[in-house]
Structures are given as structure tokens and as C-alpha cells.
Amino acid sequence: MSHLFSPFTLREIVFRNRIAVSPMCEYSSQDGFANDWHLVHLGSRAVGGAGLVLTEAAAVSPEGRISIHDLGIWKDEHIAMLQRITTFIAAQGAIPGIQLAHAGRKASTVRPWEGSRALPAAEGGWQVVAPSAIPFNDVYPLPETLTETGIRKVLDDFRAGALRALQAGFQVVELHGAHGYLLHNFLSPLSNHRTDEYGGTFENRIRLLVQVVEAVRTVWPEQYPLLVRISATDWAEGGWNLAESVQLATILKDKGVDLIDCSSGGLAAHQQIKVGPLYQTPFAEKIRQEAGIATGAVGMITTAEEAEGIIAEGRADIVLMARELLRSPYFPLHAAHKLDADITWPVQYDRAKMRKVL
């Protein structure tokens, strides 16, 4: 029996398998609204057999967008189209999830295929915020230091975003605390030079993320899972590291977080990442073992055998796939055949199902 295609339960939600669609920015929204692109993109991965389908980063405020084309959840008008998408995903047997995010000092930039630079004010750019007035690099915006009033607004925005996510029909929320965005900015000593209660010591640097978790849990139902994506290391000297990630995960578990999505990097322009197949899986394995919390492995997982091995060996509880699911939306259906797992195909596609030859 395949481990990858065994059910997985978090709180009262049962995932049909251990394959999750990792959040992938599409940069295809106007004013934060989801549209037909998002319906087809996310819906096809649900048809393709994934157990959990996560949206791209959904900004909890307009100033929290990476670009003016980001998905958003900062106003009630966003709910209707998102609800249409979650209804379709659930009808295919997958669990709909959403990643809530604030881009911090990496906000107000152009889309990747338009270059890597700040969005000029004349084109709709805005003032970005961060724990300290330190830009990501010399072509990104110079952030303003987030004030205490601004911090309270961030907490309110995440709480309101989670409530809208619930109204839109999502059953999983993931908080984006990775890749150099706002919550990660606070975690890392490289981007957080504050001297108040939100900077300096480990306890102070994790304070905002912990408070966001607490705020979201006030509106997110007890029966629904809460995930947090972190960069387990900055891949840079003096930055956030794996030992701190283990310590953070232990604390978040006690605050009502159910799974740590273990990515890495994205905070320091001078990072030195040792990229290769499954290169981030050891982070998920160590956090799972030492913090006693469920984890997700992500990063260059491209084959059925790799994904199966991660779950079978107890290195993580789920695998989150991105680029491979861009290349092949129906990867889970093909993987099940390779692993000799008899799964249910959509009835509309059943005549094409790959069956074991006796």
C-alpha cells in the first residue's frame, strides 16, 4: 500500500492523500480579485488528484501585495469568486486552502517576467513597511519602519483575512512566514534591527508571528487546521537558522498551529543555497522529529518515488509540490499508477484511467 496515497488527518479535516499543491504566485489578479485563471489553475489540480489545494499568497491588505497583480483577501468583495473556486475544489474531493500573506519590504514590485525592481509610484507603487528600514537589495523599495499602530493593523488584517477565508469556504489556512516577506522579516536578525519588544532577542523577533497565529485562531474554527510556512534557514551567516526554526515550531504547536510547511531562503540577497533534489526535506524531517509537530516537505520533489520515500521514511507528513504540478497538473493520477495505488479518478476521465495489467 502506498504511503503517499494514505489519508492524512489534521484536526477534523481528512485529506485523501499526502500531496498538496504548494502556493504559487500567478500575478494574474486585478485589485486582488480571483478570476477564471485561478478557477482553472486551482481547479485542474483538484481534478488531478491532489489532497490539498492551496492558493497563492493572498494579500491581507493592499500594501501587503508583492505586485499590483497579486491575489487579495482584504475586502468582502473578494469572497464571491473565491467561494466559487472552493466549491469546485471541494466537489473534486480535494481540500481547499488559502495562504494569507503580507509582503513586507518585498512589496510594491513588478511581476517577475517584467524584471526585478520596485514598482514606480507613477505606475501604482506604494510605500512599503518592514521591521526596520532596510531594503531587500538596491533595486527594491526602501521600507519604512513599522510602527506600533502599523503592527496592530497587521494583526487586524490577518484576523479579518482569516474570517473572509472562512466565509469563502476554505478549510485550511496557511500563514506565510517565509521567503523574505513581512513575518519572516521580523524573524531574521538580518532584516530586524529593532530595539523594542519586536526586536533583538529570539522571543522578541518571533512575537509578531506568534501574535498573528493567536489573532487568526480567534476566528478560525477549532476543527480546521492552521499551517505556517517558514524559511527554516536564511542560508546566510548571522541569519535565521534551523535551530531557531525547531524552537519556533515547538512554540507554534502550543499556540494552535498544526503543521509547519518547511521551505527556506528568500530573505537575504546574498544567500548561498545548496540546491538539489529534496534539498529542503531535511528541514521538515528535523522539525518533525525535534518539535513533535507535523511537517510538509517542499523543494525539487519531482517524482512519485521521491514523494513516496519522504512519507514512507517518516521525513514529513505531506509533500507540497509546485513546479512539478505546473508541468503536470495530473501528477497525482500518474503517481498513483506508478506506485500501484488504486485511487478514484474523476468519473469524466475514468475511461482514461491507467489500470494495473494482471
The count of other CB atoms within 10 Å of the CB of residue 307 is: 29
Question: How far is Cα 216 from Cα 153, in angstroms, rounded to an integer?
Answer: 13
- Please name which of 14, 4, 19 lies closest in space to residue 319, comparing C-alpha atoms: 19
Grid cell of 244 as nine digits: 531557531
How many other C-beta atoms are found inside a 10 Å radius of the C-beta of residue 211? 17
Check if 181 is active-site: yes
As a three-state string, the secondary structure of 263-294 is ECCCCCCCCCCCCCCCCCHHHHHHHHHHHCCE
CA distances from 170 to 13, 147, 222 (A): 11, 31, 14
For residue 130, give the 3-state DSSP assignment.
strand
Which of the residues 140, 181, 198, 330 is marked catalytic?
181
Q: Which three cell numbers stand for residue 183?
A: 513575518
Rounded distance between C-alpha atoms, residue 29 and residue 20, angstroms: 23
**The C-alpha cell that represents 189 in the structure block:** 536578525
C-alpha of 81 from chain center: 20
Q: Do the strands 129-130 and 95-101 form a parallel or antiparallel pair, or are they unpaired?
A: unpaired
Distance CA 187, CA 6 (A): 35
Q: How far apart are CA 322 and CA 128, in angstroms?
A: 28
Task: Return the closest-CA partner of residue 140 out of 96, 108, 101.
Answer: 108
- Please give the positions annotated as active site: 181
